[in-house]
Amino acid sequence: MNRVLLYFVYILFSLKGVFAQEKFSSPNGKTTINVSLKDNISFNIISENQIVINNIKTLLNLDNQKLGYKPKLRKKKTQEKREIVKVPFPLKNEKILDYYNEVELTFDDYAIQIRVYDRAVAYRFITSFEKEITITDEELEITFPKETLAYFPKEDSLYSHFERSYLKTKIDTLKNTDFCSMPVLMKKKNGLNILISDADVYDYPMLFFKGTSSNSLQAKFPKVVLATQPHPDATDRIAYITKEANYIAKTNGKRSFPWRFFYFSQKDADLITQDMVYLLSRSQEIKDVSWIQPGKVAWDWYNANNVYDVNFKAGLNTATYKYYIDFASKYDLEYIILDEGWSKSTTNITAFNPEINVKELINYGKKKNVGIVLWCLWEPLNRNMETILKTYHDWGAKGIKVDFMQRADQEMVNFYSNLAKKAAEQQLIIDFHGGFKPAGLRRAYPNVLTYEGVRGAENNKWGNFLTPDHNVTLPFIRMAVGPMDYTPGAMENRQPENHYISFNRPASIGTRAHQVAMYIVYESALQMLCDSPSSYLKDQKTVEFISQIPVTWDETIVLDAKIENKVAIARRKNDTWYLGIMGNQNEQEITIDLSFLSEGSYNAKIFRDGINANTFAEDYEVTTQAVSQDKRLTIQLAKGGGWAAILQPIK
């Protein structure tokens, strides 16, 4: 054997030994993953010398092979990347640091790419086949330390609005019939949080997880839908899936697949400030974003058009919507929504309800500097998307609120991305309602301003799900992956003992100040004012305060936070700070440190629980005081209480 051949054999055996078990570290060296390439691709995560996740095992199953089964490594490429990502319409911070170490392990016709951040790990498959491929399944099993607690957004069906409460339970109590949508939050016995979700999801179904009656979760994916059957009582919007394929996707053979990421931190507050979904998603594809305008919206459907103290009959008519426009103009709200009822029918969405002159309203809104957003169902829009969107643009509408998608399969994911692109071509903003949570689309298409996928205010119309405890859990889980259209601003506020359920005159649980604080705590580039304009005009101090709060932010700081308990956030826009605090159903005293302020004095306008808010939840007080960076504020929250402040520098 000559020296060259001997050296080659030596290298091969060396590589085999090295890559059977390989270690990669984060930029600060405190987080490591140990990758095994023996029988499959698997790795664990260790941070600060403790196990975060015991094992993550993954395979990508094609119809003729399993990618990741007995992998044979061909090449390894590593890089360290550090860059500042500028966000055009920031919901947390104008600039985000993207800093990680990356390894790409290449096998036969596929690779796995892994990024190790100081507090997160993400991976995805990359394939290089010449022809289209069929994905029958993607296997992912995550094993956690024993006694791990799950905040599990349990689903009853893959056909869902994705408006969930969180089942809080030990992971080993979850059976294989229990499954959840993303994101899911795990909390170890020592308090370490592990947030799990997906990002950069294109031409592929969304990720779900199911239990295993052990300390593991396994991935679950919707299959490709082949046939549906309309619901007999709601043929226009509800369609049961009657036939599915035996695969989850047919897709291009040369592509990258969605990221699966695991963010971990001991501090609950870090769940709010991280921005993993945005960082892991593809770069902006719209060159000109100057036409995109985030803003606040006067919304009609929640309050059932119950306007009063007017000289016309309220309802689905032109006079009522002119009243909404007048209200929006008075308080510098950027938009009103024409929700269900503006069109001739829910399936004929380019013809007007005879009682509503949409073109007249759009022109009236232009004179008042108020844009019109049009509601529509996804299926009739999808049937003739380009023509309908061009029609809305030609009318002068500013955007659409698209509803009742209720699915998360490959076709529906493609509908989202196709609509984002086509709407951008017509300079229309989008509110995705009645569907899944964000997964990175808004980075590529910033005209996607918000998503529902949250158990939000409309649930007050038919249930008592929206407890203050639920409201202070959302920022740590659902909001952690992107904007959420919770639709705050309820003016009928009740404590639990006198709460009522009414579809046409809904009431929230918790105080008025709790609702006002949502405008600072909750992230959405389209932020609704859900209640009747008449109710706001009857109590103008509330809407005057809300109207001063922006929807995008230059900087975000979490001052105090505990899941299910409380959240206190400071957000800066230009040189003004906005502070929002929300509490759970218990009375609380919270002290906040204002050392984050710049030097000098600030005038603080404060909206807080009134002295009788524990019994009359609508009781509040608006006060002013001077504050500075050396000040500490002690704040009393009522049951289900809140506190909000606008801090403007005194010049």
**Catalytic residue list:** 403, 458
- 282 contact partners, CB below 8 Å, separation of at least 6: 200, 202, 440, 443, 444
Alpha-carbon gap, residue 65 to 550, rounded angstroms: 51
Alpha-carbon gap, residue 113 to 162, rounded angstroms: 29
> At residue 383, what is the residue type?
R
- Show the tokens assigned to 152: 């599990």
Q: Calculate helix-pair angle for 358-367, 318-330, nearest 10 degrees.
A: 20
Of 592, 598, 599, whose CA–CA distance to 645 is shortest?
592
* Alpha carbon distances (Å) from 340 to 294, 374, 400: 22, 9, 12
Sign, Cα dihedral of 489, 493, 499, 504: negative
Q: C-alpha angle 358/359/361, rounded to 5°?
A: 65
Q: Calculate helix-pair angle for 358-367, 385-395, nearest 10 degrees.
A: 50
The DSSP-derived string for 73-91 is --EEEEEEEEEEEEPSS-S
Sign, Cα dihedral of 60, 66, 71, 77: negative
Alpha-carbon gap, residue 183 to 209, rounded angstroms: 10
Q: Where are the beta strands (DSSP E) in 459-575?
A: 493-494, 508-509, 526-529, 555-562, 566-573
Contact 109, 254 (CB under 8 A): no
Of 281, 256, 280, whose CA–CA distance to 100 is shortest?
280
Parallel, antiparallel, or unpaired: how do β-strands 149-152 and 184-187 relate? Answer: antiparallel
Alpha-carbon gap, residue 645 to 609, rounded angstroms: 12
Residue 38, classed as helix, strand or coil, is coil
* Alpha carbon distances (Å) from 476 to 170, 306, 518, 569: 18, 34, 14, 12
Alpha-carbon gap, residue 259 to 116, rounded angstroms: 13
- 259 contact partners, CB below 8 Å, separation of at least 6: 122, 123, 124, 198, 199, 200, 280
Contact 552, 523 (CB under 8 A): no
- Show the tokens assigned to 639: 């049951």
Contact 44, 55 (CB under 8 A): yes
The secondary element (H helix, E strand) that includes residue 279 is helix 276-279
Alpha-carbon gap, residue 555 to 342, rounded angstroms: 38
Radius of gyration of the chain (CA): 26
Q: Tokens 């053979």 sit at which residue?
A: 253
Q: Tokens 């046939």 sit at which residue?
A: 227
* Alpha carbon distances (Å) from 90 to 423, 482, 619: 20, 11, 33
Residue 341: CB atoms within 10 A of its CB come to: 17
User: What distance, in Å, lies between the first and last C-alpha atoms of the chain?
Assistant: 83
